[in-house]
Amino acid sequence: MITYTVTCKNLYALAAMLIKEHIPFEFKPTRAYNHKHHRNGYGASVIEMTLEESTKHECLSLADFMFRLQEKYNTSFDLTIIGEFHY
């Protein structure tokens, strides 16, 4: 399993595609709970998502996911990977 922390220009489309593909994710806004002093530490709103390597289902890599996102919404996303954790 690989957990990515990413930010992009259009987080709404990214979240919609993650829901459609049934990929677990967590949205962390810049300011938690709309308070000035509770920031997430990344300086921008981010999404943490987990991609699983499975032999039973179709394997979905980050490149495949971004290709599907590009096909569906037909726009550039400017995705930035902040962190990547393998386990």
Q: Are 65 and 58 in contact (CB under 8 A)?
A: no
What CATH number is attached to the domain comprising 77? 3.30.70
**Which residues constitute the domain of residue 17?**
2-86
Q: Which two tokens stand for residue 65?
A: 């996911």
Q: At what angle do helices 11-20 and 62-73 cross, to 10 degrees?
A: 110
For residues 80-85, give the mean pLDDT: 86
pTM of the model: 0.75
pLDDT tens for 58-70 read 667 788 878 888 8
Q: Which of 18-22, 30-34, 36-40 has the highest mean pLDDT?
A: 18-22
Can you list the pairs that 36-45 forms with residues at least 24 positions away whose Cβ atoms lie under 8 Å? 42/5, 42/7, 42/82, 44/7, 45/7, 45/11
The number of domains in the chain is 1
Q: From CA 53, how far away is CA 59, in angstroms rounded?
A: 6
